[in-house]
Structure 1
Amino acid sequence: MKSRLRTHRPARVSLLTATALTSALTATLLALPAPASAATVSIAAVQGSTRKSPYAGQDVTVSGIVTAIRSTGSSRGYWIQDPVGDGNPATSEAVFAYTGSTVPATKVGNKVTVRGRVSEYYPGGSSAGGQSLTELTQPQIQSTASTGNPLPAPVVLDAASVPAAYAPSGSLESLTLNPSRYALDLYESLEGMRVQVDNARVVGASNDYDELFVTTKPTENPSPRGGTVYGSYASQNAGRVKVMSLTGAFPTADVGDVLGGSTAGPLDYDGFGGYTLQATTLGALTDNNLAAETTRAQGAGELAVATYNVENLDPTDPQAKFDRLAAGIVTHLSAPDIVALEEVQDNNGATDNGVVAADQTYTKLINAITAAGGPTYAYRQINPANNQDGGEPGGNIRVGFLYNPARVGFTDRPGGTAGNAVSVVNNGGTAALSYSPGRINPTNSAWSSSRKPLAGEFTFQGKTVFVIANHFTSKGGDQPLYARVQPPTRSSETQRGQQATQVNAFVKQLLAVQPSARVVVLGDLNDYEFSGTLSTLTAGTGLTDLPGTLPAGERYTYVYQGNSQVLDHILTSSSLSSYDYDIVHVNAEFADKASDHDPQIVRLLP
């Protein structure tokens, strides 16, 4: 297993520190003398009928057949499974024997007797909210009774065997497992056991850590392009299972591809996606030939406004990334008139030396767009105060605008700085911005360690359009869907709710001066179309959240742990009721992508 350090939206935080501490502790334990005696029990007894072992912290001796070995990385070990079992569907018949950095001294098919200490390991630490993995530490093979034994038959995970309900409510660790009713209980009851998925459709593309997600339920909230859509807090999509490989080979798969035949191996648990099939047999990849989408060009009288999270873009990124983003803007988005960009970094990226200017980042992207046959865009933005807007330390990410001056005008009103708040000016019943561009209430605590919204005043064919670019705070720190307390705590929603309140108030100020004001609010809001954040943002404004106008299966801009979901939004005021809206799928479903977000566009008749 690869070690990793991740910063990822939504609710993905670094587990490296906790993993390193656990590895160091285990290494110390492995060096201790073997226990003088240990109770001889079945593996099922060790696993018990709840999530935590009744033997946790005790030394035990168990017997079973070695079904798989993880011989690389810092989490080495082997799985052993009782081929007979106790007949109780709530108790797993297998357990992982953790050897740390030591290569296991056994082979698949060996029937072994092992002595070790039962441990409940929380990937990422207990405070992350995830579940625990029952494992044996300090494992010592006492004897090998036989070799070359057939492996226990895998349990098939499919639409019939995996319950539709995801998890019971409450503290799961105190509940007896009910694998026939809840998917998380089923997966826990199979912890460490051999499982199998057949002809499994990929719903989360391969990533840099040799992981992908498949669905065991092909008809569960499908998208037209092969994914599984996350449409409510109560629709977690129980069929999602992560797949990794113990064979040393891993496919490059996009959403909609299929792992043909059987994929089988022990069912593991980790902190980067939950229950994971560690494949000893990996199905052959069938390419679904998923193609990137292209939207139509705007008409002469249409104003095209887009939003695109360009994922920590800075001049040190390879030219290939700039070229791919440029192709996305020119070809797939058909050269919008205005593009709100999120995650534009400063001129030296993550180098933390006080640089906040991003002119080189914008210039390099604009040049790539021109080279791709697009217009020569201009840009507007405001440099943040150093390390005050969150994101990668030293990167100083911010939101900004590209616009095509051949089609759109920008009304420049100086004075907008990192700390100056833009206000609404009443010019005899016509709204205007005091600063353009200007930041919305940037010193308010709602924007602590987060990107500040940027308001700009544009003109199109003699009409004024106010565009507000946003990048709300991430879901980092939220508990995962597979948390041990259900429903999981989504602590980051509090700040996004405060941010939505700020933008909502500003939109109301515009409309109070000029009810017919043309307002577009857009960007990476880091929340769903059904969330409280969006309800707060739209309340009393007449704003329409355009993702919600699409068919349910098409509402997604991001794929996380096999769930296709909406994080990016465009909202329009009631005076912009004539529109043509499109989410353009070019990134999120693909293993090879320019960004982790899909862009979107609206064509307006202002």
Structure 2
Amino acid sequence: MGAAGAFAFTALPAAHATPSASAVIAEVYGGGGNSGAILTRDFVELGNAGSTAYDLSGYSVQYLPGSPSSGSTWQVTALTGTIAPGARYLVGEGTGSGGTTALPTTDASGSIAMSATTGTIALVSGTTALTCKTAADCAADPSIVDLAGYGTAVVREGSGPAAGASNTASVARADSLADTDDNAADFTAGTPSPVNSAGQTPGSGDGGGGDGGSPTDPGTVRVHDIQGTTRLSPYSGQTVTRVPGIVTGVRTSGSLGYWIQDPTPDTDPRTSEAVFVYTGSTKPTVAVGDSVLVTGKVSEYYPSSTSQSNTEITGPTTTVLSSGNALPDAVTLDATSVPDAYIPTASGGSIESLPLQPTVYAQDFFESLEGMRVTFADARVVGASDAYGELWVTVKPDENATARGGTLYSSYDQPNTGRIEVMSLDTTSTFPAANVGDELSGVTTGPLDYSTYGGYNVQATQLGTLVDNGLKQEVTRKQKKDELAVATYNVENLDALDTQEKFDRLAEGVAVNLNSPDIVALEEIQDDNGATNDGTVTAEATLKRFTDAVRAAGGPVYKWRYISPTNDADGGEPGGNIRQVFLFNPKRVSFTDHPGGDATTATSVVKTRKGVELTYSPGRIDPTDAAWEDSRKPLVGEFTFQGEQVFVVANHFISKGGDQPIHGRYQPPARSSETQRAAQAAEVNTFVKSLLAADRNARAIVLGDLNDYEFSQTVTTLTADKVLTPLITTLPAAERYTYVYDGNSQTLDHILTSPAVTSFNYDVVHINAEFADQASDHDPQIVRIDLSKCGRH
């Protein structure tokens, strides 16, 4: 029928449509396996009345009960392949315990238990379940290519449903496949006569879907049929029977299961030949090299709400046919095979239904290899090993290399397609402790998987050998006598209950690697009892331990200033009461105290006879504004160095938590947290403008963890009207990073200066982010300013 074919509830004159020139439903049988039946399985047979082949890729047959209730849903069986002109196409469905004769080998396989006497079958362009439950609504659905209602079916074409279906009778069109859009007229009851695309009839081929075929013979569905040509399986939610493959990897911890790969691939580069078999809480008993047949339900597992999915076979029954078989060849990942473009877009929507383009997009290329064996050799480490046994390499050695061996993330449209995460399936060996710039030498091979964090990854069955390239922590130079040294350092949730080792390592970073700056803005200082949520907000014990450790490491005796937050009002770890703190060396710089600042009172700029000053120092920038809700409020302090006044603003903007991942199914990804950071940046920008309005030569240093990139809207807003210069942009491009995430070296921490700061020396001091053994996940940075050479009143 055409989509506009006539459906009816009551008897109507037969529609006068011309016969279909394309695919139609040729025969329907729901009595398979029932009492009195000869055939063991239900089926739907399609036919092609046209003169050219009909492509069924992305199509489905769907079933609705004859008298649908409000809770009834259409059940779906996905189709693949084509119907030749004049040929038939056989879809096997539910199997019963009766009957003696199997269907011929089916062209598609489902598990729908169709009624023998009444129901509706639709041939649909698409695999999404229909929602119509009346003839009129279904007539209005353009995705329905043909429809056959039988018995007493409410949803049918024309004057009524086809009559006569039973346990022993199907309803079928005439051999001519004539289609007048009237089920009662077009279908006649008779002995079931299924024919597949090869022209086989019952008894001449194995039906392969629990339909009486041998338990050691493969069914009709192959892995590439399950994977399909998009990110979602056309078989999702359906049971597949005796799917053949070779076991290529076994995971015995975490998400338990194993991968199988078909050694006989199809010719479509979009369809993966491998799939993960999820065994639930049961450790798999198969071994790499086993030839198996797997029966189970196909599902799409989403590691998170915004990630892509893993296609899996769940609840499996596995038959091992043989062991020690050769594994399918692995696909090489390198600069030639992995495309330079990253991922398609869908105007912020899901890309899941888009046909894969593996020669165009790197993420489509990886998806087309989901579960398959992949391999790379001699790859540079671009993301250090972590506590979870993961590291990152690049298979494109020349892609945006940093000065120290990483891969630079320099814009939203350059996410670096050569990055790939590496894990190991070998639970008996220690995972290597790798730093950025090291090399995973030799060959690494294993199934390609997908996870929430990082996206695609290699589950290594063979892991290369780590070559230590000797990356060293940096030590910045000592400031000169006339240089004011100001640094920022995120010390990652430091509190008084942390180990002495953590205090000592962070303190060494300040005293040795930063060479004892005059002023240090610290981010992530927690209250004195850490994450214990009992109302404590002071951080005196935390700061005492930290400054003592700095002194023990050879640094000065720092003093500190901060404002205690309102309990549980500044985000971060619940109960931790995270905040920014100023440390200063009183032998080199003095802090100008203007008492009265507290958690909810805003500081401002005032002109006095002595010049410009803050109403409160230390103080906060507009802390009750909505921009700072559940986030750290900027801390402002007024300092004097060699008689010169300096204003310092310490920041820790809201995190990127909740943003969609760059590898997720929604493209382009929504960066929802950016809205609040832009508002925060606007607040700081406004404050600096007020300072410059009072004194255009004011020396202001704005610094801290901004949780955003130098090319972001956050930084653009913060620097609006050129009131601030981001110093990260003064470095060579290959050195512009303070943090490493998913193998991307990127800038989250910043120092910015007002226009009067014209003579400076700036340095990011790499001591953490590139190292497996790190005191914090951020690198500190420092600016040394010669105030005598900066414009002054």
| Range class of TM-score, shorter chain | over 0.9
Structure 1 match to 2:269: 89
Q: CA deviation at 1:172?
A: 1.6
Tell me how far apart the structure 2 counterparts of residues 42 and 279 of structure 1 sit (CA, whole Å): 25
- Map 1:89-168 → 2, pairs under 5 A: 89-124=269-304, 126=305, 129-141=306-318, 143-168=319-344
* Residue identity matched to 2:284: P
Residue deviations 1:34-70 (CA, integer Å, cap 9, x gap): x895673010010001000011100112110011101
What secondary structure, in the 3-state scheme, does the structure 2 residue paired with 1:172 have? coil
Q: CA deviation at 1:147?
A: 1.2
Given that residues 240 and 296 in structure 2 are in contact (C-alpha distance below 8 angstroms), is that contact kept between their aligned partners in structure 1? yes
Are 2:388 and 1:217 equivalent residues in the alignment? no
Given that residues 504 and 541 in structure 1 are in contact (C-alpha distance below 8 angstroms), is that contact kept between their aligned partners in structure 2? no
What secondary structure, in the 3-state scheme, does the structure 2 residue paired with 1:456 have? strand
What secondary structure, in the 3-state scheme, does the structure 2 residue paired with 1:219 have? coil
Given that residues 601 and 620 in structure 2 are in contact (C-alpha distance below 8 angstroms), is that contact kept between their aligned partners in structure 1? yes
Match of 2:642 among 461, 465, 471: 461
Tell me how far apart the structure 1 counterparts of residues 312 and 374 of structure 2 sit (CA, whole Å): 18
Percent of aligned positions with the same letter in both sequences?
Answer: 62
Given that residues 291 and 320 in structure 2 are in contact (C-alpha distance below 8 angstroms), is that contact kept between their aligned partners in structure 1? yes
Match of 1:522 among 686, 697, 703: 703
* Residue identity matched to 1:232: S
Which fold has the larger relative contact order, with Cα–Cα distance below 8 Å and residues 6 or more apart in sequence?
Answer: 1
Mean Cα deviation higher: 425-434 or 487-496: 425-434
Tell me how far apart the structure 1 counterparts of residues 505 and 397 of structure 2 sit (CA, whole Å): 32
Gaps of 5+ in 2: 1-110, 114-208, 211-218, 788-793
- Map 1:9-88 → 2, pairs under 5 A: 37=209, 40-61=220-241, 62-73=243-254, 75-88=255-268
Given that residues 519 and 573 in structure 1 are in contact (C-alpha distance below 8 angstroms), is that contact kept between their aligned partners in structure 2? yes
Are 2:594 and 1:417 equivalent residues in the alignment? no
Mean Cα deviation higher: 522-531 or 240-249: 240-249
Tell me how far apart the structure 1 counterparts of residues 226 and 277 of structure 2 sit (CA, whole Å): 12
Structure 1 match to 2:120: none
Given that residues 202 and 212 in structure 1 are in contact (C-alpha distance below 8 angstroms), is that contact kept between their aligned partners in structure 2? yes
Structure 1 match to 2:411: 232
Residue deviations 1:155-195 (CA, integer Å, cap 9, x gap): 11001100111011213212111111110000000000000
Q: CA deviation at 1:107?
A: 1.4
Q: CA deviation at 1:145?
A: 2.1
Structure 1 match to 2:44: none
Match of 1:597 among 778, 781, 792: 778
Q: CA deviation at 1:429?
A: 8.5
Gaps of 5+ in 1: 1-34
- Map 1:257-336 → 2, pairs under 5 A: 257-336=438-517
Given that residues 373 and 447 in structure 2 are in contact (C-alpha distance below 8 angstroms), is that contact kept between their aligned partners in structure 1? yes
Q: CA deviation at 1:487?
A: 1.4
Structure 1 match to 2:760: 579
Tell me how far apart the structure 1 counterparts of residues 479 and 316 of structure 2 sit (CA, whole Å): 65
Mean Cα deviation higher: 112-121 or 425-434: 425-434
Runs ≥4 residues deviating over 4 A: 35-39
- Map 1:502-517 → 2, pairs under 5 A: 502-517=683-698
Normalization by structure 1: what TM-score?
0.93
Q: CA deviation at 1:267?
A: 0.2
Q: CA deviation at 1:555?
A: 0.5
What secondary structure, in the 3-state scheme, does the structure 2 residue paired with 1:540 have? helix
Q: CA deviation at 1:87?
A: 1.7
Structure 1 match to 2:425: 246
Tell me how far apart the structure 2 counterparts of residues 428 and 414 of structure 1 sit (CA, whole Å): 19
What secondary structure, in the 3-state scheme, does the structure 1 residue paired with 2:366 have? helix
Are 2:675 and 1:487 equivalent residues in the alignment? no
Structure 1 match to 2:141: none
Report the RMSD for the aligned CA atoms in angstroms. Answer: 1.2
* Residue identity matched to 2:231: R
Tell me how far apart the structure 2 counterparts of residues 204 and 265 of structure 1 sit (CA, whole Å): 19
Match of 1:342 among 515, 523, 529: 523
Structure 1 match to 2:374: 195
Structure 1 match to 2:353: 174
What secondary structure, in the 3-state scheme, does the structure 2 residue paired with 1:446 have? helix
Match of 2:680 among 499, 509, 512: 499
Structure 2 match to 1:549: 730
Distance 1:429 1:371, change over 3 A: closer
Structure 2 match to 1:389: 570
Tell me how far apart the structure 2 counterparts of residues 556 and 400 of structure 1 sit (CA, whole Å): 23
Given that residues 689 and 723 in structure 2 are in contact (C-alpha distance below 8 angstroms), is that contact kept between their aligned partners in structure 1? no
Residue deviations 1:329-363 (CA, integer Å, cap 9, x gap): 11110100000000000001111111110001111
